[in-house]
Structure 1
Amino acid sequence: MEVDDFIKKWFSNYYRTNIDDVISPRSISKREFGFIIFKGRTMVRHRGFKDPGELKRFIIDLTPADAYHSSAYYERPEAGMDEKGWLGSDLIFDIDADHLSLPCKLRHDRWMCLGCGKAGVGDAPESCPKCGGKIREESWICEECLNTAKREVVKLTDFLTDDFGFSQEELHVNFTGHRGYHVHVISDKVSPLGREERKEIVDYVTGTGVDLSLLNLRRENSFLDAPNWMRKILGKLGSKDAVPKGKRQWIKAAQQAINEVSVKIDTVVTTDIHRLIRMEGTLNSKTGMKVVKIPLNRVDLFDPFKDAVAIKGGEAEVYVEEAPRFRLMDQEFGPYSKVKVELPIEAAVLLLCKGRAYPII
């Protein structure tokens, strides 16, 4: 059996038995939907649905590899982009471990040139440094990746509530099922914002253009009077007595504080007012895990390797080419190298989705 056929069988079983876990976005009739199908991994988009029942029946019949809905609201969701009639859009932030400089990538990510065979670990180059050929990447997810991304989520939600005044009810945090998190701001206050206004929000949370000259430490009440961003920086620096003496040392310390306070996001996602975003409760074909909504007060407690495991109840024998040690639920697996092994289905599907194994039928 081909790898995709095996994965699709288990995805189909999940959707047939857990379709109520798939949560439709609000104003469903104004949303565009897109689906990646297993055959050829092509995208089918510009789909519209009248109600959640119609959407769920479609998903059961199709068994998509991945499922998305637009962040935007449209008059005619099924029309081409120029004819849809944009009505507004949720504000979306994407925090992905791929965009964070993490040392764990050297342990579990690798790449190889499809031309000359040159290989390496960590972040892949755009092309082979030896022959200029195309690169095949193999990435993994680990607890360090996702815990670091989760800390960025906490920083972002603090910005959104403390600095922008959004309520907790207006913020939705979703685990993507792979290497990161999406934060949705669902509010009439942000819906009509265009690309430029969203870019200003991006600049704010990423610390782009923060003016250090505004941090007038010579004033007696500068800690209290500083704008919110400046207060965050000063909070990182500590008391006035701890601020480095000398302009050069001060600027260096302040820039380090900015780096720690700012949020690392995929800026393109936030400014894209037509973005397709993963649908809550659907499966991610890169792992077999599901997109999970996380209550804002439980982000710290969320365990993706337990709470997002969706495919359960069975075992499968697979041949594993290479895989690092990993945990799913309360069980440890690996490391594996060129070995046949019988695994719980959730571990087998993860390895198959990551391209690290093949089913033995």
Structure 2
Amino acid sequence: MSRNAEVIRSAFREYYFKQKSIHAPAAIDQREFGYSQFGMHGMVRHLSFKSIGELIATLVKEVPSDVYCSNALYRFPTLPMQEKQWLGADLIFDIDGKDLGLPCVPLHSYAVCAACGHASPPDDGEYSCSACGGKKADHVSIPCSKCIDGSKKEAKRLIDFMTEDLGVERQNIDAYFSGNNGFHFHVRDDSYRPLDSQARSDLVGYIAGVGLLAESVGVRKAQGGDDVFVKFPKSGLALGWRKKVADKLKIDSASIIKLGNIAKEKGGYAGFKAELDKMTREMGARIDPQVTTDVHRVFRMPGTINSKSGLAKIKCDELDSFDPFTDACLLGSAKVKVKMKTQVKFKLKGESYNLSKESAELPAYAAVYLICKGLADSA
């Protein structure tokens, strides 16, 4: 095992030995668990635990790099997938900061050469490692407060959809910081468990604002050509996407002439439909569709450490005040010497770091953060 892996593994073991943030998921004995190991490819899967104590004992013994738990319930969770006998799955969502296209990201991103591990700030041109000439790199980001605020904004939008449009009680939505650069959501509502992948895909489409018909807000295509006429649905514009679009366009059920004029200004039916698609995508929540639609997924387990950062996937009851760089930074503070690969600025546990020298002595949580990101090596 490499020296880097040894340092990270030691910090993770201490956390799992002392941890207070891991709680048993509902019906723990019907869940499939899995974990990844340091220095090894693939995942150890099809595991089952009867209690949280049994699970934590395994974490302390094995010290995995990442830990996962199925959103699905199975009659036989340790058997091969086709023999598990699926009983339903919790509804889950993932918002990843890297998918939001935030303008600040290039300012705090780095390229880590896939061949030699050399790190450097990426430029706009074609990548070429200055150390070995390698053409492939892993691009890593040190998220800033604007990144987290962007993810929080998206998270609140998702929660609004779930509570206002879908009728999920707010107390049944558990929000978690992902441990790296985003948020996860677990819906504790048994009525969603039987949904198959297609039903969940439809749900994702609704929340993301994909595929809304122009007819659903009253714009209809006249026979022959691209002309339009307006006929509002009998159920009105008071609910769901109809209300969102009506509020955006500043119309109501009496705005037949106004909506008709808007559609004509956009170029007729096709032009209005294109504008509607753009509008709803901007107003929808940007979630990872594969996470929600996969009813057999093993999802990062709450309370465990994310090996991409050394931060914990931790529950956040108050999104506005939640600070992942403090609240999710739970590793120990024993001193660790590191050799820096590039100049790095970041903030953890209220302390700002601006590391430009070749070597530094840091608290374990900060050293592990940089090593996990590929921006430093254990000295």
Q: Which moved more, 1:88-97 or 1:32-41?
A: 32-41
Deviates more, 1:177-186 or 1:319-328: 319-328
| Residue aligned with 1:316, SS | strand
1:237: Cα distance to partner? 4.0
Q: Which residue of 1 aligns with 2:223?
A: none
Q: Which residue of 2 aligns with 1:233?
A: 245
Aligned residues: CA RMSD? 3.2
**Which among 337, 348, 352 is matched to residue 317 of structure 1?**
337
Aligned to 2:266: 248
Q: What's the counterpart of residue 179 of structure 2? A: 177
- Within the candidate set 121, 145, 148, 2:147 is matched to 145
Supply the distance in 2 between the matched residues of 1:115 and 1:317 (Cα, whole angstroms). Answer: 24
Q: Tell me the SS of whatever aligns to 1:346.
A: helix
User: What is the Cα deviation at residue 348 of structure 1?
Assistant: 1.4
2:174 matched to 1:159? no
Deviation track 1:81-126 (CA, whole Å, cap 9, x = no partner) reads: 1111111000111100121112122112243665799x88389999
Which residue of structure 2 aligns with residue 91 of structure 1? 91
Task: Tell me which amino acid in the other structure corresponds to 1:162.
Answer: E
Aligned residues of 2:69 and 2:301 also touching (Cα < 8 A): yes
SS at match of 2:40: helix
Q: Determine which of 244, 248, 264 is the counterpart of 2:286.
A: 264
Instruction: Provide, for residues 223-281 of structure 1, a one-character-per-residue CA deviation record: whole Å limited to 9, x for no partner.
Output: 97343112123333446799885431884764553233101111011100001111111
- Structure 2: how far apart are the matches of 1:293 and 1:260? 27
Structure 2 residue runs without a partner (length 5+): 220-229
Q: Is 2:293 the counterpart of 1:274?
A: no
Helix, strand or coil at the partner of 1:332: strand
Answer whether contact 1:92 1:184 (CA < 8 A) is retained: yes
Query: SS of the residue aligned with 2:337?
Result: strand
Residue 354 (structure 2) pairs with residue 342 (structure 1): no
Aligned to 1:35: 35
Work out the CA distance in 1 between the residues paired with 2:215 and 2:70: 41
What is residue 346 of structure 2 aligned with on the other side? 326
Asked if structure 1 preserves the Cα contact closer than 8 Å seen for 2:179 and 2:311, the reply is yes
Does the aligned pair in 2 maintain the 1:24–1:279 contact within 8 Å? no
The one-letter amino acid paired with 1:137 is: H
Aligned to 1:15: 16
Measured in 2, the distance between the counterparts of 1:161 and 1:331 equals: 37
Map of 2:222 onto structure 1: none
Q: CA deviation at 1:61?
A: 1.0
2:316 aligned partner? 294
Paired with 1:323 and 1:287, the residues of 2 have a C-alpha distance of 17
Question: Normalising by structure 2, what TM-score?
Answer: 0.83
**Residue type of the alignment partner of 1:77:** P
Gap change, CA 1:112 and 1:9, over 3 Å in 2: closer
Q: Give the conservation status (yes or no) of the 8 Å contact 2:211–2:277.
A: no
What letter matches 1:178 in structure 2? N
Inter-CA distance 171–314: structure 2 relative to 1 (3 Å threshold): same
Q: 1:73 to 1:230 in 2, by over 3 A?
A: same
Q: Closer, same or farther in 2 for the Cα pair 1:127/1:233, shift >3 Å?
A: farther
Using the alignment, how far apart are the partners of 1:120 and 1:55 within structure 2? 40
1:306 equivalent in structure 2: 326
1:357 aligns to 2:376 (yes or no)? yes
TM-score (norm 1): 0.87
Q: Do the aligned partners of 1:309 and 1:346 also contact (CA within 8 Å) in 2?
A: yes
Specify every segment of 5 or more residues in structure 1 that has no aligned partner in the other structure, as ranges: none
SS in 1 for 2:207: helix
Query: Does the aligned pair in 2 maintain the 1:233–1:261 contact within 8 Å?
Result: no
Q: Which residue identity is paired with 1:357? A: A
Are the equivalent residues in 1 in contact too, given 2:218–2:232 (CA < 8 A)? no
Change beyond 3 A, Cα 1:154–1:312 = same
CA-CA distance at 1:135 after TM superposition: 3.7
CA-CA distance at 1:8 after TM superposition: 0.4
- Cα contact 1:35–1:66 (8 A) shared by 2: yes
Percent identical among aligned pairs is 35
Distance 1:180 1:123, change over 3 A: farther
Change (3 A) 1:22 1:41: farther
Q: Measure the CA separation in 1 of the matches of 2:123 and 2:242.
A: 35
CA distance in structure 2 between the aligned counterparts of 1:91 and 1:127, rounded to whole angstroms: 42
